[in-house]
Amino acid sequence: MSPTTRRSFLKTGLAAGAMATVGTLPVAARRTATDSVVLGRSNLQVTRLAFGTGTDGGAVQARLGQQEFTRLVHYAYDHGIRFFETAEAYQTPAMLGEALKGLPRDSYQLMSKVTTFHEGIEPQAKFDELRRTSQTEYFDIMLLHWQHTADWPETTKRWQDSILEAQQKKTIRTHGASVHGLPALRQMPGTHWLDVGLIRINHSGARMDGPTYEDTNHPDNVSEVVDHIHQLKKEGLGVIGMKLCGGGQFQNSHDDRAKAMKFAFQNAGVDCATVGFKSTQEIDEAISNMNAALA
């Protein structure tokens, strides 16, 4: 084939290919509860829906017993949820570790939270203890748990530095904090150490942040919480919503649970959310509610 003929052939083929794709250009993928989202500058990918294990401090999940809890975790995993969270202060770290045993470690993300208020605790030893309890070589996310005073960015410096050290050792992948109360939340914007924030959010202020860290209702402060979330997103943080079921207050109201999910994603703009589960029906509903909120 002469160069001219070959050039014409290629041009014709490219033109035909272009014509063939007209009308079939890819459209933006529909967002769902079980697809992956990047948590801001952490670059960590997680499913938008996380399986929470801290309902009433994990007592609700613990009452299921290991066998039923494991069945529930596997149901969530089989239905696309690949983000699981616990905390040192919960009753569930060992149960969750046992439930996840045997599943490919690189197929899911695990978040834990460390208590920073005890005296005489060596952080690296504590992280090692938490890894043993959770039967994992590393945590994808480690949060400073229950930060509830305005001075927490200063009083937790030792833990912040130790988490960064653990990241160098690759036993923690990324980090952040969970806060309770407006005095603590107001310190999150501008705290450059943070990569991830776990924040209480729902449409009615049920067990959300107020003037103190009390777990009470604060409907008048919802707009301020939303403003802080928007600012954190501008600063590049990944934001995870919690208390979408109002700390149990929406237990008997599907309408409120659906509204809370919609508010968290459409108004506050969280990246993902964690919900505590005790049944397969609750998992199914949360997936459905989140899919509707993301549509």
Q: Is the pLDDT of residue 16 over 70?
A: no
In a domain, 38, yes or no: yes
Closest CA to 189 of 232, 151, 152, 160: 232
In a domain, 21, yes or no: no
Q: What is the pLDDT of residue 28?
A: 57
In a domain, 75, yes or no: yes
pLDDT in tens, 212-224: 988 899 999 999 9
Domain that holds residue 264: 33-294
Q: What is the pLDDT of residue 68?
A: 98
Task: Check: pTM over 0.85? Answer yes or no.
Answer: yes
**Other residues' Cβ atoms within 10 Å of the Cβ of residue 25:** 6
In a domain, 76, yes or no: yes
pLDDT in tens, 140-156: 999 999 999 999 999 99
In a domain, 166, yes or no: yes
For the segment 146-171, the average pLDDT, to the nearest whole number, is 98
In a domain, 49, yes or no: yes
- Note whether 52 and 91 are within 8 A (CB): no
To the nearest whole number, what is the mean pLDDT of the chain? 91
In a domain, 267, yes or no: yes
Q: What is the pLDDT of residue 119?
A: 84
Q: What is the pLDDT of residue 272?
A: 98
Q: What is the pLDDT of residue 251?
A: 85
Q: What is the pLDDT of residue 138?
A: 98
Q: What is the pLDDT of residue 72?
A: 98
Q: Does residue 114 sit in helix, strand or coil? A: strand
For the segment 28-45, the average pLDDT, to the nearest whole number, is 93
At 21, is the pLDDT very low, low, confident or very high (cuts 50, 70, 90)? very low
How far CA 218 is from CA of 9, 41, 160, 265, in Å, comes to 70, 30, 30, 19
DSSP letter for each residue of 39-99: -BTT--EEESEEEE--TTTTHHHHTTHHHHHHHHHHHHHHTT--EEE--TTSS-HHHHHHH
| CATH number, domain containing residue 127 | 3.20.20.100
Q: Is the pLDDT of residue 20 over 70?
A: no
In a domain, 24, yes or no: no
**Residue in the structure block whose two tokens are 């979408």:** 244
Q: What is the pLDDT of residue 4?
A: 39
Q: Is the pLDDT of residue 14 over 50?
A: no
Q: What is the pLDDT of residue 189?
A: 98
For the segment 2-11, the average pLDDT, to the nearest whole number, is 37
Percent of the chain scoring above 90 in pLDDT: 85
Q: What is the pLDDT of residue 12?
A: 37
Structure tokens belonging to residue 210: 């107020």
Q: How many domains does the chain have?
A: 1
Structure tokens belonging to residue 268: 């506050």
Alpha-carbon gap, residue 31 to 109, rounded angstroms: 19
Percent of the chain scoring above 70 in pLDDT: 91
